[in-house]
Every structure is written in structure tokens, then in C-alpha cells.
Chains A and B, each alone.
Chain A
């Protein structure tokens, strides 16, 4: 520990001081007995803004939205026992999507740990598999160091959530403070620079490709705006097509002609076909997730694969790659561009132009097309109109989970990173509203819209109170199909149309619900009134719940059914009963 013996502080004071020194301005939380000393310190100061959520899961997702839309670490504070267990879904979500969070949990006093005390739970035990790292603070002497180390671990390497469990007696105990510069970070040193030989090998392979495709992911967004800039530069230099996972949307501008749209289970025909037929795949910051690969043994069978990832455990996990490069995407791209220019790499123009021709053929399929209606609002149309009417604003989008999420990914287009907050890895219904709140806290002047499903949004609907309390003008745009649409779709396609418990029975009147919270409710039921209603929503200064009543039985296409390959995608308008193997059915 340091020799800098400043005045002693209480544990709670140390927590607050450490937050200040880490540059934290906002903390999402919910009080309780085991964190009262920390709340007392929050009461005594005025620079740290505490946002009182209505459920600890909401605190975690709000912190995630805050983190994703800023690139900073999100911070939350919850009490022991139920406070901590309520946060677990959000922590798991952050772990799966590599979101930096620091979560402070109160714990029963040290001498009661293990006695089944009131509101005691084994927080470090419960959160061990859903955090990047966690701590139970055993002595106030370690507290400052742990606080700073937690921020360092959450934000460096592959980011993730870190829990600090602080027994109440330690919050009262006097101890030393130590500033962030003083802590030793020796034991955790994730790589930054990629191996130059690997990068050279990759550059050669990229230059020699005849049917290349860039496949990018959330790692580009996590590596900061500079990584997106470098990606644009490199993709531009090569002239190659690029697709991205759900998590990576916005890292490359959707308006660019080289952009193929999202890939994967509900990705575009051109993106998935390019992945299947390519000869060189350039994976930058993506992880060959099962939503992306489909059937593994038929995944891009003829390609050489390059994989850039900061996490060595992502490499060769499910898909064998030919050129692995472990490093931060921004650093690797910087070196890659330098080498590319130095060695005057020049792609085979003829081959690339032939490849583009093939891709143009796939593009003509217009896989995101849908049958328009002038009597009912099609959900895809609703997202398209929302996009057209809001794209010139400073807009951030969050989503819940389901069909609406996929339609948002397909039809709302992103030009910049950090604009798209969605639960990818865990697929957490109830993510979108609190994430929108966190995003709005970070960007008070921006337009923040949660594109929601009527089922998902009810899971954290209580956060409307938070939005109203802090005057956060979030717009909740519900594609209300009265179904857990994604579940209904699977039941239709894979379970013989037996719609077991997927109907959204007994829904509230969302307009009245908004009003009950003190917000504004708007409803649109036919395409003719949609634009005016959306405009009204955008012009409303406070929070809005928009009940967009859409067709009930729309399916989300294209779709690669579980256990199928990229080139076995089903498109809209094709016969809708899918032959899926028993093995495929067992997949999720």
C-alpha cells in the first residue's frame, strides 16, 4: 500500500472520493440498510448525481446504456441481498456484451457474514460467473485500492462488469485513502498491440483475396471512436464489402455503398451469402457467435479466416481461424493500414469487381422487403418512418428483445458508433427502457428512443417513474403486435402453429399508463396517421409512450432457422413451414 498517509476517512467517504477521482458524475442506485452510510455521503455532496431507479435491474441496464453511449464506465449502487440479486441480470447482460460497469453492493457487517443474517446473500458467490471480476472488501485498508482497480479492470482489455461488495461495518470504519495513480496494476495487463507478423500475414491475405468480406462486431465500438474511424479508412482503402453483427452497428456508416447490412440469423441475404461464399473473411472484433454462424460445419466453408480480438479466448473457440491476431482493434487497424500502405498492397481489381457483381445480384433480392398495407401499420414500415422522421436529429436508439429489435436493426440505419444500445448476447427483455434512461442521462439534449415490444417493455415499465422524476424525455416506441412476436414466430415455424402462452393477454392501455405515470401517451392504429403521430411524439418535450398498433402476425425475415447454414436462409414470401432437424430444434 502507499506511503501517502493522508487523513483517515470512513469507508463510505473513501467510496465517494474514489468515484470522484475516477471522474464519475452519475450513479444509478437504490438504497437499503446495507448501503446507508454511502447514501449518507451522497447526501452530503453535490457533484455526484444519483439517479434513483425503481428496480435494481433497471440500475444495471441504465448504467449499461450510459456506458455504451459514452464509452465510459457505468456505475451502480445497490443494497445487500435482494438489491444484489436484482442486479444479477444486468451484470450478466454486461458480461455477455462486454460493457464496463462497476457495481457497488452493500453487505451485512463482517461479523454477521455467514450467519444467514437479514438481507444477507453470498454476493461474490452469486456474481462470480456473471462478472469479469469481483471483490468482497475484508478490510477498509484495501478499499481505496479495490475501488480504483475495479475501474481499471472494468474498462481495460475486454471490458466487463466488476462487483465490489462492501460490508456495512467497513463503510463506517476509518481507513486510508489512496489516489488512482498510486495503485499497482501489475497483475492484470491485457494486450494492446497485435503481433506485427500476424498483421503482415493478414494484410497479404487480404490483398490476395478474390471474394473478401469484412465481418465486424462490438469490439470495434468498444475500442472507441478512433477504431471506427480506422475501420472506415481501411475498408475504404480496400474497396471490399463489409457487414457487421448486431453489436457492431454504427461502427461503419449504413449509408456507404460498401455496407451490406447486418448479418446473422436475421441478417440480409447479401451479407449472409457473402459470408458463405467468401474466400477471405476479415473478422474484426466479433466472436463467431451462434446467431452469426448458423450451422457450424457449413459456416463459410471455403474461406481463410482472419480474426482480430482483444480476448484470446474468443479465438478458435468455435470456429478455426487461419490468422489470429490478439490485440485492441484500434491498434491493430492502425498497424494494418500502415503496413497496407508501406507494402503498396493492391487487390485484384477484376476479381473484386466480379465479386461486387455477384453481391449486387444478391442485393436485388431485396431481402428486407415486406408487403405494405394501407389499412394496418406494418412494423417494418413503422421503423422506417421513425427513422426517416428522426434521422436528422441527434438520435440514440435502444431496444427491448424480440422481433421489434430485429426490425430496428434492419430498418433503422446508423452512421456513427455508440448510437445503438441493445441486448445482444443475453437477449434481455426489459433492457431497452432503463438503457434509454441511462443514455438520456449521458446525453440530456439528445433524442433517445426505445424501440420496444409490448411484452418486453412491461418487464421494466416501473422505470417510467424514473424518467418522469428526472424529466428525461425518452420516447418509448412500442411495436404493439399483442404477441411475444418472436416466440409466436418460432411456434409458427417450428412448433406447428401451437401458440402456447405467447399471446400478450390483458395488456394495459399504454396511453393511459403513460398518463398515470405523468407522461404523454400517443397511439397510432393506421398507416395514414403514423407520420403525424411520430412527429407529435418527437415534438413532445417530456417522456412519451407511443403505442404503435401493428399487424399481429408479421414474421421477421430473412431468417436462418436454427441448425441451418447461411445459404439456407428463408426469405419473406417463401413457404413458411420450415423443415428443421430434431437437432436444429434443440437449439435456441
Chain B
């Protein structure tokens, strides 16, 4: 009966909420209180006039747990809509990263070369360092960070995933 042990899947959920105090805490509290995973979470106001924010959560669990998460999210009073971008639509997922790499000589040249092939932008330069700005799918950023590691990777700041469905429909 219990299907909690079935295959684990990652899902990207978009949650439209009233931008009121405590809403984010309720969403996060739901995940920690019920033992759900959060792999990525982003939040920002998307409609200033209507005071609506959009939370994008990447979570993982069995199909039954994912259904539970969506139902539990929908039950939070200031949540107005929950969409599962992984099942309901073909979605575009993007993340932005700022990546600081320090080094000189060969390594510095190589870092720059790699950044070009990833279409990263250089947003800060000193004689011994770069800050790269890179946007793309999570896997692309993972790969970039991986490549920078031996080239003097200093620190990484990532936004987490923002996602939206393809096509004319809104969530």
C-alpha cells in the first residue's frame, strides 16, 4: 500500500504565493517539518501590484511523496497556485552563477578559454582573478564549476533554479 519506497524522482514546482510575511517560512517549514527534500529554492516578487511572489522549488521523492508535497503546498492559505513543471508542461529551467577564479599564467588563460566556450561573461577582472557570470541549466553550471576547480576556483554563488513552462499558457 505504502508507495514511499518507489523510485525517487526530482520535480520542479512553481508556487505562486501572496507576498506576505511568513509565507516563505510556512513553505520551508512544511518541507522541514514533514521531512521532504529541498534541492533548490528561489523566491522573488513577480507582481508588485498584486503582491505576488513566485517560489520555485526543486524537490525529490517517490511519486506519492511528490503528490503529497503538492497537496500540502496547496493547502497553505496564502498559496494561490502550485504547478508541477516536471509533469504538467515542458519547462525551461535556468540558473545563474557567479564564479570567482584566481590564478595566473597558464591556468588563467585556460580559465578564460573555458569560460568562452560556456558563454560565461567576465563581470570583474583583476590581474590575478576573474568573476564569471554564467546562466544555464543546472548541469551546465555544475560542469563549469567542475572545470574551474583545478584552475583556481575560489568561490561560487548560485541563484537556484528559476523555471517557466514553454508555450503561450501561464501557470
Contacts and interface: CB of A to CB of B under 8 A. Distances in A.
Interface in A104-147: 124-125, 128-129, 132-134, 136, 138
**Residue of B26, B72, B77 ringed by the most chain A CB atoms within 10 A:** B77
B16 to A, nearest CB: 10
Contacts of A128: 22, 25-26, 29
Interface residues of B, number: 20
A313 B69 CA distance: 8
Contacts of B25: 125, 128
Contacts of A315: 71
7 contacts: A125-B25, A128-B29, A129-B29, A132-B77, A134-B22, A315-B71, A320-B1
B149 interface: no
A188 B2 CA distance: 31
Given A129-B29, A129-B33, A319-B1, A188 B68 contact: no
B69 to A, nearest CB: 9
Given A134-B22, A138-B21, A187-B18, A320 B33 contact: no
Given A133-B77, A313-B68, A320-B64, A296 B22 contact: no
Contacts of A125: 25
Contact of A312 (B2, B33, B71): B71
Interface string B23-57: 00110010001000000000000000000000000
Contacts of B21: 124, 136, 138
Given A129-B33, A138-B21, A311 B75 contact: yes
Contacts of B74: 312-313
Give the 8 A-B residue pairs with the shortest CB-CB distance, closest first.
A313-B71, A133-B77, A312-B71, A296-B2, A313-B72, A296-B1, A188-B77, A313-B75
A219 to B, nearest CB: 15
Interface string B68-90: 10011011011010000000000
Interface string A176-197: 0000000000011000000000
Nearest to B76: A133
B2 A297 contact: yes
A111 to B, nearest CB: 17
B2 A187 contact: no
B48 to A, nearest CB: 17
A299 B1 CA distance: 8
A312 B1 contact: no
Interface string A155-173: 0001000000000000000
A59 B1 CA distance: 40
Interface of A: 124-125, 128-129, 132-134, 136, 138, 153, 158, 187-188, 296-297, 299, 311-313, 315-320
A316 B2 CA distance: 9
B155 interface: no
A312 B75 contact: yes
Contacts of B77: 132-133, 153, 187-188
B3 interface: yes
Contacts of B72: 313
A163 to B, nearest CB: 11
B67 interface: yes
B67 A316 contact: yes
Nearest to A157: B75
A280 to B, nearest CB: 16
A312 B76 CA distance: 12
Contacts of A320: 1, 3, 64
Contacts of A318: 1-2
B29 A316 contact: no
A296 B21 CA distance: 39
A197 to B, nearest CB: 20
A317 B68 contact: yes
Nearest to B22: A124
Contacts of B1: 296-297, 299, 318-320
A132 B75 CA distance: 9
B41 to A, nearest CB: 17
Interface string B140-162: 00000000000000000000000
A102 to B, nearest CB: 14
Nearest to B32: A129
A128 B33 CA distance: 11
Contacts of B22: 124, 128, 134, 136
Nearest to A132: B77
Nearest to B68: A317
B46 to A, nearest CB: 16
A399 B68 CA distance: 32
A166 to B, nearest CB: 14
A312 B73 CA distance: 11
B5 to A, nearest CB: 10
Given A124-B21, A311-B75, A318-B1, 14 more contacts: A124-B22, A125-B25, A128-B22, A129-B29, A129-B33, A138-B21, A158-B75, A299-B1, A312-B75, A313-B68, A313-B71, A315-B71, A316-B68, A320-B1
**Residue of B33, B72, B75 ringed by the most chain A CB atoms within 10 A:** B75
A539 B63 CA distance: 59
Interface string B1-25: 1110000000000000010011001
Nearest to A311: B75
